[in-house]
């Protein structure tokens, strides 16, 4: 109620006079307005101040416009009878909440024009204008806003008040044309013809709209400021005349709102389908790449595969993790919006459910883990192969160098023309050779063993290795055969050997094993090695130190062997023996021994340097291990702590949802800010892998554990925020207070059984590092739900409980979510649009017909909503239905997933 218009205004002060022009306009307007109602009772007035003096027609007017009976009027014609009747009328006006200031029955009975007009204006305000309200404005403001909206599209019309804005008549013509465009051709009106425009509006309104002519065009045009009350009275008649059209507009607005919700939901569904398809397609393309276990033949190629995999983990996968999380959030938000607008739940296309995407993702991560393990295993295998291949080549080269010319030597027939001394010398020489041959048997066996291991490890150039090994073995067999043949030949002439130079023989026997020892020492000092820890390299250093400890004893053996040769020279010099300078029993000379000894002494410090460099490398690796472990041992517990804190925030009832949201947002920001620590750890992990470090005794956390824990933390905070957002959306849409929501949450939590909340990978060791969170899972089984309802005062029978379960669990999943619980608790009081409401709105637009036409939809609805309805409504089939008739009843039901009502 507009109290400002229910009290008498200062305009009616008994000591003031009306503007003559205004008084004339009010007389005509108020008289016409009164007669528009009195004619319903078969009467009218001619003179407004005279015909209301006895109070009879005044009481009759009030009965007509109010629809109520007033007290029986006094029959007498005396002044006091008239005053009594007028007072009955004034009392009735006051009973309607109107305060009459300065207006008394005596003034009306005496024919006071000013007071009579003031009284009639008060009646008009109360019964014609008071109930006009647009968007909760006052009566006057509401009527003005209604006029502005209706005339806004028209040229030369700008309604700002109820006086000057109406002088040119265009505003009145626009009001008529807006609702009845068939009555006025607005395009032919001119702003410079105000009298013509006003008379057109007055005549059309009186003839076709049953609105009597209440104003004179000349009076309005010739008055600087037309009377506001007269204009308001006349314009209010248009508002009431077009009330039916307003109802249709309200119905159209409601339909537009419903259609807009449907269109937005369909857009969200399309976006979900598109994002789900893209993510599944990416997984489909990625899995075959990860399943490809065709090994490369070289270490460089396999390391490139490892680098490609690291790029995938650093660059390509993280955006997909975000997409998967966002997809789940969009799905939950869409389902909440559908539930709040009474729409059926969204069912994605086959194979695109959230569970389908989760299963596909799980399969991807399983293949991904297997691929990484395969890569590292293959790199270790290739590393081992390269080491064995190099060792094989080294031993083969040494053996081939030793065997060079041996076959020719064994095939000589020199003993046939040798003297007895020479034959005996040849025999001793051959014995020394056999000793040397036996000493090299171990190397041949090593070569064969290495070749076999290379074959077992699937070495890419195994054919070359096998060919070379076979050649060495064949040659070794031939050497054995030739050796045996030469021994047989020498034994046949053994009786020809009489003497032997013991010193030469002793030299040969000592020089050969010492030479072999030096060969083995040089081979060991140049042997390649692979270690993965400080302990392993320390073991090699210890063995090397033990070797160096044997050098003094070896030096004594060298001096003793050289001493034998010196003794030979001394004897020859003493007895004048002419020596050929060649030891008949061996090709080794003191110079050979000295040269090899110098080589051994040169290789010892080089071996020292190699071992120390490896110590430094292993120490650097150990620093990398400790550096990684120091960070991982902080990050792992930090992730676990944050997951527990987020879990506590999501189940604690203390504080409002907004406070919970702020708390979760702070956690989210802290987590985002912590990302740099994860990146730094990734960098250390990459350095470790580049250094071929695959174990770390200083921590139980691997990079895989940290990655999975981090992804689980990101998913947990995003899902928890989405849950609170949906609770806020539900609370606001359902009109639930924070106290009610807390009460619902407390009741729900009491019966929400505690269950395990586990991580994303199935690993006992992962659960050891990140223990499963004890967390309420946000759902109840039917027995818990029944107990919850009983605790809240519901008297449940089997039939009633079964009905309730169909509401809270329409898909028969066997559980009741918190959202479904809140929907049930607020279902009876929530104000939501329904299929029946939309159907009733369409019925208004269709003028109560069972069908609606394309023209009606395009006339009453905005273009986008109209075309949306036309494209989805089915053809109406019924008797006497025109061509193009559409079935709005089935369409309304389909919006809410219901069968035809």
Indicate whether 575 pLDDT > 60.
Answer: no
**pLDDT at residue 651, rounded to an integer:** 67
Please report, for residues 330, 343, 744, 812, 818, the alpha-carbon distance to residue 337 in angstroms, rounded to integers and kept in the order given: 10, 8, 20, 21, 15
Q: What is the mean pLDDT of residues 35-41?
A: 88
φ/ψ of 241, rounded to 5, equals: -65, -35
pLDDT of residue 513: 92
318-354 pLDDT, tens per residue? Answer: 998 888 898 888 889 888 888 887 888 888 988 888 8
- Amino acid 494: pLDDT: 58
pLDDT of res. 290: 81
Token pair listed for 136: 């909760």
For the stretch 176-199, pLDDT in tens is: 998 899 999 998 999 999 999 999
Question: Domains of the chain, with CATH numbers?
Answer: 20-257 (1.10.418.10), 266-388 (1.20.58.60), 405-588 (1.20.58.60), 835-894 (1.10.238.10)
Distances in Å between the alpha carbon of 705 and those of 324, 394, 474, 667?
A: 20, 43, 54, 21
Regarding pTM above 0.95, the answer is no
pLDDT grade for 8, boundaries at 50, 70 and 90:
very low
Q: Which of 288, 274, 273, 276 is nearest to 363 (CA)?
A: 288
DSSP H or E segment with residue 757: strand 754-757
CA angle 819, 823, 829 (to 5 degrees): 155
For residue 761, pLDDT beyond 50 = no
**Mean pLDDT score, 618-638:** 88
Contact indicator for 420, 496 with CB cutoff of 8 Å: yes
For residue 635, the model assigns a pLDDT of 92
Residue 169 confidence (pLDDT): 92
**pLDDT confidence tier of residue 417, bands split at 50, 70 and 90:** low
Q: What is the pLDDT of residues 494-524, one digit of tens each?
A: 553 343 357 777 888 888 898 899 889 888 8
DSSP 8-state secondary structure symbol assigned to residue 165: G
Cβ-contact 148, 159 below 8 angstroms: yes
* pLDDT tens per residue, range 202-261: 999 999 988 998 888 898 898 889 988 889 898 988 888 887 666 666 677 778 777 888
Could you say which DSSP state residue 875 is in?
E
pLDDT at 133 over 70: no
| Residue 42 in tokens | 């078969």
Mean of pLDDT values over 789-797: 74
pLDDT digits (tens, 9 = 90+) for 117-126: 888 898 888 8
Per-residue model confidence (pLDDT) at position 499: 37
Chain-wide mean pLDDT for the chain?
A: 81
Q: Read off the pLDDT of residues 69-108 as tens digits, 9 standing for 90 and up.
A: 989 998 878 988 888 889 988 888 888 877 777 788 888 8
pLDDT in tens, 651-698: 666 678 888 889 888 988 999 999 999 999 889 888 888 877 778 888
pLDDT over 90 for what percent of the chain?
A: 11
Q: Taking 70 as the threshold, does the pLDDT of residue 21 lie above it?
A: yes
Average pLDDT of the segment spanning 44-72: 88
Strands 816-817 and 779-780: antiparallel
Q: What is the arithmetic mean of pLDDT over 419-445?
A: 81
Of residues 763, 800, 778, the one with CA closest to residue 716: 778
User: CA 821, 824, 830, 834 torsion: positive or negative?
Assistant: positive
Residue 572: pLDDT above 60? Answer: no
Tell me the pLDDT tens digit for each residue of 360-387. 899 888 988 887 888 788 778 777 777 8
135 pLDDT more than 50? yes
- What's the whole-number mean pLDDT along residues 404-415? 82
Question: Which pLDDT tens digit goes with each residue over 853-893?
Answer: 988 888 888 888 889 998 889 998 887 788 889 998 888 88
């Amino acid at each position: 109620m507009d109290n400002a218009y229910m009290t008498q205004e200062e305009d009616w002060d008994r000591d003031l006079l009306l503007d003559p022009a205004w008084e004339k306009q009010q007389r005509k307007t108020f008289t016409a307005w009164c007669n528009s109602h009195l004619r319903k009772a078969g009467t009218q007035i001619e003179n407004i101040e005279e015909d209301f003096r006895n109070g009879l027609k005044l009481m009759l007017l009030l009965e007509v416009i109010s629809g109520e009976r007033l007290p029986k009027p006094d029959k007498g014609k005396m002044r006091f009878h008239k005053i009594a009747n007028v007072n009955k009328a004034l009392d009735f006006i006051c009973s309607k909440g109107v305060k009459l200031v300065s207006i008394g029955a005596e003034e009306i009975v005496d024919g006071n024009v000013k007071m009579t007009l003031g009284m009639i204006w008060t009646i008009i305000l109360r019964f014609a204008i008071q109930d006009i309200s647009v968007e909760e404005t006052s009566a006057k403001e509401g009527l003005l806003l209604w006029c502005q909206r209706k005339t806004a599209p028209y040229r030369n019309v700008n309604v700002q008040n109820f006086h000057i804005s109406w002088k040119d008549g265009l505003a009145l013509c626009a009001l008529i044309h807006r609702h009845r465009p068939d009555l006025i051709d607005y395009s032919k009106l001119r702003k410079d013809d105000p009298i013509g425009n006003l008379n057109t509006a007055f005549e059309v309104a009186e003839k076709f709209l049953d609105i009597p002519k209440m104003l004179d065009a000349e009076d309005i045009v010739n008055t600087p400021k037309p009377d506001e009350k007269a204009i308001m009275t006349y314009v209010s008649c248009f508002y009431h005349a077009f009330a039916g059209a307003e109802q249709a507009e309200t119905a159209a607005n409601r339909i537009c709102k419903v259609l807009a919700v449907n269109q937005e939901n369909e857009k969200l569904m399309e976006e979900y389908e598109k994002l789900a398809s893209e993510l599944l397609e990416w997984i489909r393309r990625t899995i075959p790449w990860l399943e490809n276990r065709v090994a490369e033949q070289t270490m460089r190629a396999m390391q490139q595969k490892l680098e490609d995999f690291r790029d995938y983990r650093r660059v390509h996968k993280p955006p997909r993790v975000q997409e998967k999380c966002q997809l789940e959030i969009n799905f939950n938000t869409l389902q909440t919006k559908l539930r709040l607008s009474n729409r059926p739940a969204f069912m994605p296309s086959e194979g695109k459910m959230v569970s389908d995407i989760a299963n596909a993702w799980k399969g991807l991560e399983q293949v991904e883990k297997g691929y990484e393990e395969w890569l590292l295993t293959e790199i270790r295998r290739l590393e081992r192969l390269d080491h064995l291949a190099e060792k094989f080549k080294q031993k083969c080269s040494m053996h081939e160098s030793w065997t060079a010319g041996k076959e020719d030597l064994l095939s000589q027939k020199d003993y046939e023309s040798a003297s007895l001394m020479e034959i005996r010398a040849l025999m001793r020489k051959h014995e020394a050779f056999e000793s040397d041959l036996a000493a090299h048997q171990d190397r041949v066996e090593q070569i064969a063993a290495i070749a076999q291991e290379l074959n077992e490890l699937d070495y890419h150039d195994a054919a070359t290795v096998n060919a070379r090994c076979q050649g060495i073995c064949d040659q070794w067999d031939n050497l054995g055969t030739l050796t045996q043949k030469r021994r047989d030949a020498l034994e046949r002439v053994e009786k020809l050997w009489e003497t032997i130079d013991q010193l030469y023989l002793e030299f040969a026997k000592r020089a050969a094993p010492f030479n072999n020892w030096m060969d083995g020492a040089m081979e060991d000092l140049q042997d390649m090695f692979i270690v993965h820890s400080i302990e392993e390299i320390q073991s090699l250093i210890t063995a090397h130190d033990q070797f160096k400890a044997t050098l003094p004893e070896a030096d004594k053996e060298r001096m003793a062997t050289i001493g034998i040769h010196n003794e030979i020279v001394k004897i020859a010099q003493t007895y004048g023996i002419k020596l050929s300078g060649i030891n008949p029993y061996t090709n080794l000379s003191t110079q050979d021994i000295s040269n090899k000894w110098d080589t051994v002494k040169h290789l010892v410090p080089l071996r020292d340097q190699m071992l120390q460099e490896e110590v430094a490398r292993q120490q650097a690796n150990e620093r990398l291990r400790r550096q990684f472990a120091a960070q991982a041992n902080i990050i792992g517990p930090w992730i676990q702590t944050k997951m527990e804190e987020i879990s506590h925030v999501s189940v604690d009832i203390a504080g409002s949802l907004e406070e919970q949201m702020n708390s979760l947002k702070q956690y989210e920001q802290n987590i985002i800010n912590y990302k740099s620590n994860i990146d730094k750890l990734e960098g250390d992990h990459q350095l470790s892998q580049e250094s071929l470090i695959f174990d770390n005794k200083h921590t139980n956390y691997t990079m895989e554990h940290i990655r999975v824990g981090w992804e689980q933390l990101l998913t947990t905070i995003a899902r928890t925020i989405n849950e609170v957002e949906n609770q806020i959306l539900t609370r606001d849409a359902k009109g639930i207070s924070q106290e009610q929501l807390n009460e619902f949450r407390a009741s729900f939590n009491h019966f929400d059984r505690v269950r395990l909340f586990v991580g994303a990978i199935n690993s006992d060791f992962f659960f050891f590092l990140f223990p499963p969170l004890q967390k309420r899972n946000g759902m109840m089984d039917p027995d818990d739900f029944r107990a919850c309802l009983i605790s809240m005062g519901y008297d449940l029978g089997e039939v009633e409980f079964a009905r309730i379960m169909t509401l809270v669990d329409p898909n028969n999943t066997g559980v009741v979510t918190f959202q479904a619980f809140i929907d049930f608790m607020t279902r009876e009081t929530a104000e939501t649009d329904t299929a029946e409401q939309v159907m009733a709105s369409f019925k208004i637009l269709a003028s109560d017909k069972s069908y609606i036409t394309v023209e009606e939809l395009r006339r009453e609805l905005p273009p986008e909503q109209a075309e949306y309805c036309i494209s989805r409504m089915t053809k109406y089939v019924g008797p006497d239905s025109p061509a193009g008739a559409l079935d709005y009843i089935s369409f309304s039901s389909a919006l809410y997933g219901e069968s035809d009502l």
